[in-house]
Amino acid sequence: MHHPRLTWLAAAALLALAGAPALAAEPGAPLQTVVVSATRHAMPLADAPAAMSVVTAEDIAQRGADNLLEALRGETGVAVFGRTIAGRKALALRGMDPRHTLFLVDGRRISASDGVIGHSDFQLDGVAMDQIDRIEVVRGPLSVLYGAEALGGVVQVFTRPLAAQFEGRAAVQGSQTTSDRGGEGHRASASVSGPLGEGLRAGLSVSDSRRQAVASALDPRLSDLEGRHKQEVSWRLRWAPASGHALELEQRWGQEQRWADQIERSGRRRLFQSVTDLDRDHAALTWGADWGGDGDWRSTVRAYESRLAMRNQRDNGVAALRPNRLADRVAEVQLSGQPRAGHLLSAGAELRQESLRNVGLPGGSAESEHRSLLLQDEITWSRALTFTAGLRHDAHQRFGSEWSPRLYAVWRVAPQWVLKGGYSHGFKAPTLKQITPGYQEDEGPYTYLSNPSLQAET
């Protein structure tokens, strides 16, 4: 539900120019947008083998977005679905279920909480908006590159790069509603980045945002929109010991609290306040190397961990939701180069360990392992026609394996006209709650049971 607001800029300071945007051009030529998500390497948006769109930092600022949903609202192929709790909403691509959208930050997964924790939208708040350089949206299956969850498409966030010279940013923004139902809030952020020595750069950012709950117009005792207070701290260190080689270490912490006045959906229909606390933690280590040579070979080795913990409290004797702790641990290697003219080959391997703690699981926890291999070839048939062919194999510890092929063509019919089309496969693996034997959860009038025989959705 939308509420009229008077938004005012309390203070804003821009201490230096922003980092390099996702644009490239020759002198005197018009700028063109460059994207990464469709192939895992940079290329012009018009030539990308996928249906894509890009949301820039300027777009996010103009929309006054406080999360990914607000940043992407109105984009082609992006739909917004309402949840049944406190005004929460979910984002979906091409009408697919919201659980079929994979969210990435700088090429790394964030915990797929929306498919595990009922009625949640926690994936949409994983990164402070002021730290985003751009968002790339790929509409359509892309499991060949990213594996499970990329059934409906991929939303990838790219954060601002570290600056070559010291720069800082600070901003404060507030909003006030025109009604007495609540909803006022503020957002503040600050960041600094720059060189520390020869080949060494560092960055630090902090943010704090708060929004009061919005009371229902039909029953002021209930909340149409939950209140929330979100804080985040992140730092990054990049060391380039030699030309073409870089080692990057990053860590991000976040805390968030949400609250809403609700009523039981069954039984005694008691009024209660629900308070949910979220803790996020993400750490990553990446080594990138440009080996050069005749094939311009490049490699990336990366290891990272993404964790989310959720705790809930309810008053007036109403039972709280079970706590959940999700974790993804991923190690991956990628290699790309041109073994011969007209062919850009990409290969990769990934090991992913997924774990969940919930008292409804036998022993209180469950985990599974994913192993995958991928191979992709981008074939330049002529200056106007390119083909992209790829194949990925995912082996899952519990449900078996899945093959994900892809074949796509891009034909530049005329300088201003591009025709694209192809076939791509996607799949969604069952969650640990769905597939672990013996899991049971009672919520209101409903009882949820696991089914170990479930297979991947395709």
* Tens-digit pLDDT profile for residues 30-82: 568 999 999 999 999 999 999 999 999 999 989 888 888 889 988 999 988 77
Mean pLDDT of 374-378: 97
CA distance 196 to 410: 44
pLDDT digits (tens, 9 = 90+) for 265-281: 877 889 999 999 999 99
Residue 28 pLDDT > 70, yes or no? no
Start-to-end Cα distance in the chain: 33
Q: Model-level pTM greater than 0.85?
A: yes
Task: Answer whether CATH 1.10.10 is correct for domain 5-449.
Answer: no
Write a three-state SS string for 93-119: ECCCCHHHEEEEECCEECCCHHHCCCC
Residue 179 vs residues 1, 95, 176: alpha-carbon distances, Å:
14, 34, 9
Instruction: Give dist(CA 348, CA 38) in Å, integer.
Output: 15
pLDDT digits over 422-434, tens only? 999 888 888 888 8
The residue count of the chain comes to 458
Q: Can you give the pLDDT at residue 415?
A: 87
Q: Three-state SS across 198-267? A: CCEEEEEEEEEEEECCEECCCCCCCEEECEEEEEEEEEEEEEEEECCEEEEEEEEEEEEEEEEEEECCCC
CA 348 to chain centre: 21
- Tokens representing 397 are 């510890």
Please give the angle made by the CA atoms of 229, 184 and 78, to the nearest 5 degrees: 75
Reply yes or no on whether the pLDDT at 176 is more than 70: yes
Identify the pLDDT of residue 29: 47
Over the stretch 184-214, which tens digit does the pLDDT of each residue have? Answer: 898 899 999 999 999 999 999 999 999 999 9
Distances, alpha carbon 257 to alpha carbons 125, 311, 342, 448, in Å? 12, 10, 52, 26
What are the residue ranges spanned by the domains of the chain? Answer: 5-449
Please give the Cα distance from 400 to 379 (Å, whole number): 32
The per-residue pLDDT for range 81-129, each reduced to its tens digit, is 777 677 788 888 988 888 888 999 999 988 767 667 777 778 788 788 8
Q: Which residues contact 134 (CB under 8 A, 6 or more apart)?
A: 21, 22, 54, 55, 56, 57, 158
Cα–Cα nearest to 338, from 326, 327, 347, 328: 347
- Contact between residue 4 and residue 178 where contact means Cβ atoms under 8 Å apart: yes
pLDDT at 31: 62
4: nearest Cα among 177, 173, 175: 177
Q: What count of other Cβ atoms lies within 10 Å of the Cβ of residue 242?
A: 8
Res. 24: pLDDT tops 60? no
What are 328-348's pLDDT values in tens digits?
999 999 999 999 999 999 999
Tokens of 228: 């929330």
Q: Tell me the pLDDT band of 379, cut-offs 50, 70 and 90.
A: very high
| Beta-sheet pairing, 153-159 with 101-105 | parallel
